[in-house]
């Protein structure tokens, strides 16, 4: 089944304890992205990757790191988590960068993972 | 600053009571306006992409339209299974990778 898989789905941690949220897709997609979702603020983009070894900041990158060493994986790293990073996180992928492909191709459809709920105490 | 604003924040409908959701955007160089549906505890699921003013797309009881400044998602004769949060997002030509989401409209349809 074509999907984006995130782990862990739920995590409670303490301030300063490094953690990694993994994201893997089995669709050979070039583009992957991380979002956080907070009540009243909607989905905000953290980082995105156009392809292997190519990453760029979204709107809220502070306190996060990413890497894209393989096409299928795009982990989100919180080096020193703080309570303001308590949120619901989503990973998503699409065959190519949103808007780059023909309007009549399926390339602009973002496939999201099921989400990772992170609580930092 | 690029911005996508959705209204209303929440909408409660009786089954069969049609209504519309609004998505206004100030995204410079808009390259696609997207609608997604999100059920509780799940990731968003794609509904529509609109590229140019005047474009319309339909899927079952949902119809999305686009003008130069806003998009509407019309829900015709909704059913309880249409209850969800509906998100819109704008992609820009400034950065192919960036996508600006609105905060969403939570729709509840009661029998």
- Asked whether the beta carbons of residue B43 and residue A40 sit closer than 8 angstroms, the reply is no
The verdict on whether omega for the bond into residue A66 sits within 30 degrees of 0, i.e. cis, is no
> Cα separation of A93 and A113, whole Å?
9
Among B9, B45, B96, select the one facing A98 at the smallest CB separation.
Answer: B96
Give the count of Cβ contacts less than 8 A between chain A and B. 78
Q: Would you list which residues of chain B are within 8 Å, Cβ to Cβ, of chain A?
A: 6, 9, 31-32, 34, 36, 41-46, 49, 51, 87, 89, 91-93, 95-104
- Kindly list the distances between the CA atom of residue A60 and the CA atoms of A34, A41, A44, A56, in Å, as whole numbers in the listed order: 10, 12, 7, 11
Among A4, A98, A115, select the one facing B99 at the smallest CB separation.
Answer: A98
pLDDT in tens, chain A (121 residues): 889 999 999 999 999 999 999 999 999 998 899 999 998 888 999 999 988 999 999 889 999 999 999 999 999 999 999 999 999 999 999 887 665 555 545 556 789 999 999 999 9
Q: Which of B60, B11, B51 is nearest to B33 (CA)?
A: B51
Query: What does residue A59 show for φ and ψ, rounded to 5 degrees?
Result: -85, -25
């Amino acid at each position: 089944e074509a999907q984006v898989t995130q782990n862990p789905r739920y995590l409670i941690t303490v301030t300063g304890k490094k953690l990694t949220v993994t994201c893997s897709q089995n669709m050979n997609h070039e583009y992957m992205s991380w979002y956080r979702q907070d009540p009243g603020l909607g989905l905000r983009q953290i980082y995105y990757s156009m392809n292997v070894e190519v990453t760029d900041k979204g709107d809220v990158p502070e306190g996060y790191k990413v890497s894209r060493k393989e096409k299928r994986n795009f982990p989100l790293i919180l080096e020193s988590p703080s309570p303001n990073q308590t949120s619901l996180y989503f990973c998503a992928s699409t065959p190519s960068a949103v808007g780059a492909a023909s309007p009549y191709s399926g390339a602009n459809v973002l496939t999201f993972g099921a989400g990772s709920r992170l609580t930092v105490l | 600053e690029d911005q996508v604003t959705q209204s209303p924040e929440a909408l409660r409908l009786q089954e069969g009571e049609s209504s519309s959701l609004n998505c206004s955007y100030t995204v410079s160089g808009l390259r696609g306006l997207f609608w997604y549906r999100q059920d509780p505890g799940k990731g968003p699921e794609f509904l529509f992409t609109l590229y140019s003013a005047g474009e319309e797309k339909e899927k079952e009881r949902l119809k999305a339209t686009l003008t130069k400044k806003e998009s509407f998602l019309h829900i015709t004769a909704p059913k309880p299974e249409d209850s969800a949060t509906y998100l819109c997002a704008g992609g820009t030509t400034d950065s192919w990778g960036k996508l600006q989401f609105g905060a969403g409209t939570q729709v509840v349809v009661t029998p």
